[in-house]
Structure 1
Amino acid sequence: MTLRLILVGLGARAQFWMRVIRDNPDCTIVGLIDPSEAARERALAQWPEAIASADLDIVGKIEADAIVLITPPGGREAQMEAACRAKLPILAEKPLADSVPLAKRYVEMAEEAGIPLMVGLNFRYLPVTQRTMSLFGTTVGKPEFSRFTYERWRDGTLARLNKYPLTMAQPMLWEQSIHHFDLMRYVYQSELVSVYAKTFNPSWSMYADDANVSALFTFANGVIVNYQGLWQSNWQEPSFTWRHECAQGVIVQNDQFGDLHYALQQDAALTSVALPEYEQWYHDAVALLEAFVAALKGEAELQCSGRDHLRSLQMVEACIISSTENRSVDIAEFGAASGPNGKVSRSNPAPQPEQA
């Protein structure tokens, strides 16, 4: 069975998705939606057999099996309503929404419609993420605390980047940190208990609202994470370090997409960890799409569900409240979000391809 997909939003990120979908023999694109005529023409040049439209009128009118939302988190109400009305399973770019209440509404809409809702948290599918988790069990033992540092001067004016983050509220948290927070929950297999955070915007920032954040997280299993996420550092060279302090040693990741090492407590030097070849933004999306397809075919449990995603969004809002009110925030203030067990899904992502 070939899954017929409708793509909503044909901007920069859609270029990756069109390639990933073309490379998946189980998928094809039948619909292309974007208000920009230039974006539609660019997409039709790659998918001439698809039907293109400036609005959502084709949803429910053309035969399709699922919809992919490659759109900003704000203003998705009509898109979600159209997908639910047409009973089309949804794969949505993260974050699902720009507030927890709105995201919760979307999750409930999908559940009431009886359709799967998956969020594109592709960082879970990175080979370095999977290898890190395996090292906890086989080599360095249980993690107890960590330092997560992401430093970047993100030029939001570049043509290859979407422009809406330049004017949105808390762009670092909603657009970038959401990935990091979801990774923390996933890798440590635990939920947040409390956070103390400060968001800020340096004088040289090109962003209208806070593009930097510092936070101290405490998880239910005792893991403490010292986090710094910057979209407006003042050096064009990016930097990334995620160092896990574990019962028998450390794991050090020096690149967002790889460069993994470990050391036992008495080791004189770090040991490099071999990882499969990986093309940035491509192979993780390949695995994400494979997981979505497998769930729709009934071959696997749905991963990165909308309801699970609410827990990561709560971390974002907790940071905002903590910074605004200058206090520690307990996640319990938000109430239940992810269902009866309130746990991160322990399902492993789809196996990485040989050249992932």
Structure 2
Amino acid sequence: MTVGAFRTVDHHGPLRAVVVGAGAMGRAWLNTVDASPTVDLVGVVDLDPNAATAALSACGVPPVPVSTSLSALAEATLPDLVVDVTIPSAHYSVTREALDLGLAVLGEKPLAATLAEAIGLVVAAERAGRLFAVSQNRRHSPGLAALRRQVWTLGAVGTVSTEFFRAPRFGGFREEMEHPLLLDMAIHPFDAARYLVGGDPVTVWCEEFNPHWSWYRGDAAATAIFEMTGGVRYLYTGSWCAPGLETSWNGRWRVSGRHGAAVWDGEGEPVVEHAVPVAGAAEAAAESRARGWGSPSPTDIAGSLADFEHALRTGLPPSTVAADNLLSLAMVHGAIASAGTGTRVVIADLLAEAHRDAVDGADEDLRPALRDWRPPTPGGNGGGSGAGT
């Protein structure tokens, strides 16, 4: 996939960051930015300024300016980037405002509340020449990175599967939302599957349901089968109301390839077995042990921040740049559409429909650029089966 050029930073000092959103995840980002030796926190935006001040205090972060207005705070603090940690329904307005101010944006997942809004933001970022990326923090898991190195020793990949079974009682909006599992959680394994095999979604069939004992209003369980580029099949099955023998938050993974299989329990070191000796397999295992465990590389959202900073310094887009992450978000909305219609959904058709909706709903300022934009073609970013033959 072609990613538009974006403006890099023109100074060598620490990047200046404003965090928007002072909730629980906002506090995690405040700690992460504060701990970074190369990024300085210069301000916090929240609808409730007292909440922003309380979050800074609770995190032990030195006081910085707080405001209810991103524009006002940006004028006062001159940041390089915005970290958007607001609720999904606010992602479009916050990100669009930041881009219009000439700021780079690192957002929490999802890109936006709808696929059409996400397309609008991708086009707005390209028009502004600013970097817009998503924090897919699972890509910075040492275990997933180690599994990916093993996958590349398996030859052509046939199937990938994820099992995810947990029973969290969140309370609040998750227990009231529609499609809680698919909308709030499945983006992580869906994006990780793309990362593992270097492929993109082509079609999806999904069934969504709610066990009768569920404490969620919306369907909290789902099974989905994706056809990926290169003929790979990805199977996801999960539930958020599944007490007993729970998987890790990363799920339980299995990858089956031409030369063998690899499994990962989501926490420990992946296990691989080759049917025949494979050149490079021993080296991959050694590299996993050397790099995958106790590695100094930043993990979780600190890894997302480090990738984003590297992109702003070099002009090389991060792997979760928004234009590419559209395909991960399309997996979520494709699964929801399939469950609703009982039919297989073609991802390219879904993106084309969302593009039409984006054009129809756009303001006059953005509509011409949206009309000229073309939805990504699965596999167009150089993806494939992710393995040799």
TM-score, scaled to structure 2: 0.79
1:295-306 correspondence to structure 2 within 5 Å: 295-298=311-314, 300-306=316-322
State yes or no: 1:252 paired with 2:263: yes
Contact 2:201 2:378 in 1 (8 A): no
* 1:350 match: none
Q: Secondary structure at the match of 1:198?
A: strand
CA 1:58–1:229: 2 relative to 1, 3 Å? farther
1:122 aligns with 2:141: no
2:376 aligns with one of 329, 338, 349: 338
Alignment partner of 2:293 out of 271, 276, 294: 276
> Are the aligned partners of 1:3 and 1:65 in contact in 2 as well (CA < 8 Å)?
yes
Residue number in structure 1 paired with 2:274 = 264
Percent same amino acid among aligned pairs?
Answer: 28
1:190 aligns with 2:205: no
Deviation digits for residues 41-68 of structure 1, max 9, x if unmatched? 2233233441112343434322111100
1:144 Cα deviation after fit: 1.0
8 A contact 1:185–1:344 mirrored in 2:
no
Amino acid at match of 1:320: I
- Counterpart of 1:176 in structure 2 is 185
Deviation at 1:208, TM superposition (A): 2.4
Selected match of 2:121 from 90, 106, 111 = 106
Measured in 2, the distance between the counterparts of 1:11 and 1:3 equals 23
Q: Are 1:56 and 2:70 an aligned pair? A: yes
Report the AA paired with residue 224 of structure 1.
R
Q: How far is the alpha carbon of 1:78 from its aligned partner?
A: 2.5
Change in Cα spacing, 1:299 to 1:56, as seen in structure 2 (3 Å) is closer
Determine the structure 1 residue equivalent to 2:342.
326
Aligned 8 A contact 2:187 2:328 in 1: yes
More helix by share: 2
SS in 2 for 1:74: helix
Structure 1 residues 230 and 185: alpha-carbon distance in aligned structure 2, compared to 1, 3 A threshold:
same
Instruction: Answer yes or no: is 1:150 the counterpart of 2:161.
Output: no
Deviation by residue 1:241-297 (Cα, 9 ceiling, x = unmatched): 211111111100012x43411112379xxx996441389xx7222221111011111
Q: Deviations over 1:207-244 (max 9, x none)?
A: 22122110111112111122102112133733532111
Rounded Cα–Cα distance in structure 2 between residues aligned with 1:70 and 1:236: 32
Quote the offset at 1:115 in angstroms. 0.8
Alignment of 1:202-241 (within 5 A): 202-235=211-244, 237-238=246-247, 240-241=251-252
**In 1: Cα distance, 2:63 partner to 2:221 partner:** 43
Write the letter of the residue equivalent to 1:243.
Answer: R
The structure that is strand-richer by fraction is 1
Counterpart Cα distance in 2 of 1:278 and 1:17 = 21
RMSD: 2.5
Q: Which runs of 4+ in 1 moved over 4 A?
A: none
Whether contact under 8 Å (1:191, 1:220) holds in the other structure is yes
Q: 1:351 aligns to what? A: none
Query: Residues of 2 paired with 1:323 and 1:331: CA distance?
Result: 14
Distance 1:329 1:57 in 2: 40
Q: 1:150: how far off?
A: 0.7
Instruction: Quote the Cα distance in structure 2 between the aligned partners of 1:128 and 1:337.
Output: 32
- More deviation, 317-326/17-26: 17-26
- Quote how far apart the aligned CAs of 1:37 are: 4.5
Task: State the match for 1:27 in structure 2.
Answer: 39
**Structure 1 unaligned blocks of 5 or more:** 158-162, 347-356
> In structure 2, do the counterparts of structure 1 residues 299 and 324 end up closer, same or farther at CA, with 3 Å as the change threshold?
closer
Q: 1:117 to 1:339 in 2, by over 3 A?
A: farther
Cα deviation code 1:119-160 (max 9, x no counterpart): 0011112112222222133x4323211221011112113xxx
Residue of structure 1 in register with 2:27 after alignment? 15
The more displaced of 9-18 and 34-43 is: 34-43
The question of whether the paired residues in 1 share the 8 Å contact of 2:43 and 2:65 is answered with yes
Measured after TM superposition, the shift of residue 200 of structure 1 is 1.4
Secondary structure in structure 2 of the residue aligned to 1:182: helix
With over 3 angstroms needed to count, the CA separation of the structure-2 counterparts of 1:202 and 1:36, relative to structure 1, is farther
Question: What SS does structure 2 have at the residue aligned with 1:312?
Answer: helix
Contact preservation (8 Å) 2:226, 2:235: yes
Q: Deviations over 1:51-105 (max 9, x none)?
A: 1123434343221111000112112233123202210100000001121101101
- Number of equivalent positions: 334
* Inter-partner Cα distance in structure 2 for 1:339 and 1:26: 36
Aligned letter for 2:100? R
Alpha-carbon separation, structure 1, partners of 2:43 and 2:173: 24
Aligned to 1:134: 149
Task: State which drifts further: 89-98 or 123-132.
Answer: 123-132
1:195–1:217 contact (8 Å) kept in structure 2: yes
Unpaired stretches in structure 2, ≥5 consecutive residues: 1-12, 278-284, 353-373, 385-389
